[in-house]
Amino acid sequence: MTTAASKLTTFRRSLAVAGAVAALAVTTVSFAAAPSDQPSTVTVRYDDLNLDTAAGVNTLYHRISSAARAACHDENSRDLGIAAAVKHCRENAIAQAVHEVNNPRLAVVHAARVSRG
pLDDT at 64: 97
CA–CA distance, 90 with 51 (Å, rounded to integer)? 22
In this prediction, residue 46 has a pLDDT band, given cuts at 50, 70 and 90, of very high
CB 44 within 8 A of CB 63: yes
* Single-letter amino acid, residue 12: R
DSSP state of 96: H
Select the more confidently predicted residue: 100 or 42. Answer: 100
Q: Output the CA torsion sign for 14, 63, 113, 96.
A: negative
In terms of phi and psi (left: phi > 0; alpha: psi -120 to 50; beta: otherwise), the region of 76 is: left
What residue type is assigned to position 51 of the chain? L
Q: Cα–Cα distance between 98 and 108 in angstroms, integer?
A: 10
Q: Region 90-104: what's the mean pLDDT? A: 95
Domain spans in the chain, listed from the N-terminal domain onward: 4-116
Is the Cβ–Cβ distance between 61 and 106 less than 8 Å? yes
